[in-house]
A and B are shown apart, each in its own frame.
Chain A
Amino acid sequence: MSTASPRTQRLLPKWSASYSVVACFLLLLVLAFFSIVKLELMVNGLFLGAIIALGAIGLSLIYGILNFAHLAQGDFMTLGAYIALFLLGTLLPGMGLKDTGLGPFTFGYPIFIALPLAILVMAAIAIGLDITIYRRLRRRGVGRVVLAMTSLGLAIGLRGIVQVIWGGDTYQYPRLSKAFYQLPMGVRIPPDNLFIGVTAILLVVVLYLFLTRTKIGKAMRATSDNVDLARVSGINTENIIRWTWALSAGLAATAGVLLAIFQAQLIPIMGWRFLIMLFAAVILGGIGNLYGALAGALVIGVAAEVSTQWLNPAYKVVIAFIIMIVALLIRPKGIFGVRD
């Protein structure tokens, strides 16, 4: 297992790379100032980056603690978004909770019920899958590639369940079209993006406090650094693994709901297609490093959105992939990561 020395802090390492992230954004701001890059695309790229960050942090948590590539993370996003669709479109209206166009947003107050519920349901599903499938494989002592393949099977199965229940058509959350905010320098922001940004910042701050202030959070970091050492210190690693699944599935569900709001549509393949963005962010930031995942996600989000100034928007994923390949060429351990 992990041979990292206890002093390396994998999940939340000392962040010496913050300068490079700041430098990247300053460079982009300078470019925007000279009107080479549209500021609007950069700003909206940050919101896309916020969504990628939530999914990527969840992915990186699983990498850090369970040490395998969780290929179902994208489909966790899909399932979370569809659970919220069921709540917003069917269950809550049936209970008389029906509203759209709250304040500046396209959606109504039911999202504040649906989102937490979707997070809880996804967390429960993830723990259930761990107990029924992953735990059995862990006890058998299989390698990380077999675990990754298991998650591939799960990804297909989960998307199939979504398609059996909801069909392959596109859906929307109940919504009311709203005017965009007009900011200086020609920046137009859909009001929903503010909700996306605030939700993402809130969750990242809560996760940070959880990992640094609570006993379980500290135990998670200890487990990530060295499983065996954590176990002999009296940490119940199985419990930590369940917390990991719950957190990362909750983050994925949030990312899915926010993506459905961002794109104003839900399709069953949305999560699988988004998976490359998540992995690009994780690899850019250094596997298992949560700060790196956050920084990588923002870089990928801005780069993907800015590329639409010159390229067909369909190529956003390809841009993310190319950035990932370049990162692998330059520094395989991640641009923002610490070497372990």
Chain B
Amino acid sequence: MELSGIIGYITGFAIMAVIYAIFSLGLNVHWGYTGLFNIGIAGFFALGAYTSALLTTASPDPLMFEDYIFGGDLPARLGAWNLGIDLWFFVALMAAALICGIVALFIGFLTLRLREDYLAIATLGIAEGVRIIFLNEKWLANGSKGLYRIPKFLGELVSPQYYDYLFLGVVLVILIVLYIAVDRTIKSPWGRVLKAIREDEVTAEASGKNVFNFKLQSFIFGAAIMGIGGALYAHNVRFVDPVTFDPLLATFIIWAMLMVGGSGNNKGAILGAFVVWAIWTGTQFLPGFLSDPNFRYVMIGLLILAVILLRPGGILGEERVVSRLSETPPGDASPET
């Protein structure tokens, strides 16, 4: 492979890793800081991606889409109010975050008062429900054929062969903004309440904190971040279909990223995303059965088990926790109560 090919490959890798890092940050708000067990990330992933895709993709051509009749292409319909696709991109991101936030409010309201595994089951159900609805309601999002020709953000600015570099910049800026937002809120009194809840709910309750409210806010906050991640994914791949939101690539791998990087540590969450995505994409170069795509399932499962059994604080994140947040002793990065 010549040099430009390698650079192109690395850029494509980095874009996906950054998008996964956004999911990992969102999961870190849920699990790392509040101890909320969300195993339906795929649901928020799909909602974010589809919301953004439906809001920006051009109106369906009746010759191409027989069943798909949902409006789409809101920018064109708004006529005089049309902001142009590049500004509309931000509206789509916000809408993705909003939809995920609303769904999170609904699930959280129902389950966050109950014992923690109810939330897990409810998120699992929402993920499966969202997938089945997008698969079967062809009028809404073209069913199993999926939505394609999702427009590029700032697509006219550079020629197509350089577009990846530009988009890498875009996702990096969004990641940094979200990182600062999460880090600021977690280091605020609000964030300290979340950690108190994670460590001991009864004590937090006894200290006069409304545990349910804080958990609900944290759940909505994390879900909104995941929605933005889903929207960015849709604009990167520019194609979404229900198969994309398979639980392996949309839920489990993100769990592996957060666990490996170190839950309860935002830098760890981002680092974990890069490390696991590198392992994931790297396995295709391995010899023999190790390059079998199916073996990756085993690998992701083993990775999660290995972290739980051998290094509950995360393989790479533990020391960073010590240096950044000296009040948090090592090993306490994951809730164990």
Contact = CB atoms under 8 A, between A and B. Distances in A.
A159 B337 CA distance: 28
B300 A150 contact: no
Contact of A154 (B128, B247, B299, B305): B305
Interface stretch (B129-137, B169-177, B184-192): B129-137
A164 B39 contact: no
Contacts of B136: 312, 314-315
Interface string A147-181: 01110111111111101100110000000000000
B129 A318 contact: yes
A146 interface: yes
Contacts, number: 133
Given A163-B297, A317-B129, A71 B252 contact: no
A181 B308 CA distance: 51
Contact of A143 (B122, B126, B305, B337): B337
A133 B35 CA distance: 22
Contact of B334 (A137, A146, A168): A146
Interface stretch (B150-158, B272-280, B288-296): B288-296
Interface residues of B, number: 47
A14 interface: no
Which label, helix, strand, loop or mixed, suits the secondary structure of the A interface?
Answer: helix
A245 interface: no
Interface in B189-204: none
Nearest to A161: B298
A153 B303 CA distance: 8
Contacts of A187: none
Given A137-B308, A137-B309, A154 B301 contact: yes
B304 interface: yes
A142 B313 CA distance: 13
Contacts of B113: 332
A275 interface: yes
A160 B294 contact: yes
A153 B305 contact: yes
Interface in A250-287: 272-273, 275-276, 279-280, 283
Given A145-B35, A153-B305, A158-B301, A69 B121 contact: yes
A160 B295 contact: yes
B60 interface: no
Contacts of A38: none
A12 interface: no
Interface string B19-39: 000000000000000010101
Interface in A110-160: 133, 136-137, 141-146, 148-150, 152-160
Contacts of A152: 39, 252, 255, 304
B301 A160 contact: yes
Q: Which of A161, A315, A325 has the most CB of B within 10 A?
A: A325
Contacts of A148: 37, 117, 120
B315 interface: no
Contacts of B128: 273, 276, 317-318, 321
Given A317-B128, A317-B132, A160 B300 contact: yes
Contacts of A137: 308-309
B260 to A, nearest CB: 12
B114 interface: yes
Contacts of A272: 247
A324 interface: yes
A156 B336 contact: no
B146 interface: no
A156 B297 contact: yes
A145 B110 contact: no
Contact of B289 (A68, A145, A149, A164): A164
B300 A145 contact: no
Contacts of B289: 164
B116 interface: yes
A328 interface: yes
Given A276-B124, A317-B132, A324-B121, A156 B301 contact: yes
Interface in A60-85: 68-69, 71
Nearest to B129: A318
B165 interface: no
B302 interface: yes
A155 to B, nearest CB: 7
A329 interface: yes
Q: Which of A141, A145, A317, A324 has the most CB of B within 10 A?
A: A145
B166 interface: no
A159 B111 contact: no
Contacts of A150: 304-305, 308
A274 to B, nearest CB: 10
Contacts of A145: 35, 37, 116-117, 335
Given A69-B120, A164-B298, A156 B114 contact: no
A321 B118 CA distance: 12
A159 B300 CA distance: 11
A144 B302 CA distance: 19
A279 B121 CA distance: 7
Contact of A324 (B116, B125, B132, B252): B125
Contacts of A158: 301
Nearest to B133: A318
Given A71-B39, A315-B132, A328-B110, A276 B298 contact: no
B121 A143 contact: no
Contacts of A163: 294, 297
B123 to A, nearest CB: 11
Nearest to B114: A332
The 6 A-B pairs at the shortest CB distance, nearest first, are namely A160-B297, A157-B301, A153-B304, A160-B298, A163-B294, A156-B301
Given A272-B247, A318-B132, 7 more contacts: A69-B121, A148-B120, A160-B298, A161-B298, A276-B121, A321-B129, A324-B121
19 contacts: A69-B117, A133-B309, A137-B308, A143-B336, A145-B35, A153-B304, A153-B305, A158-B301, A160-B297, A160-B300, A164-B292, A276-B128, A279-B121, A312-B136, A321-B128, A325-B122, A328-B110, A328-B118, A332-B113
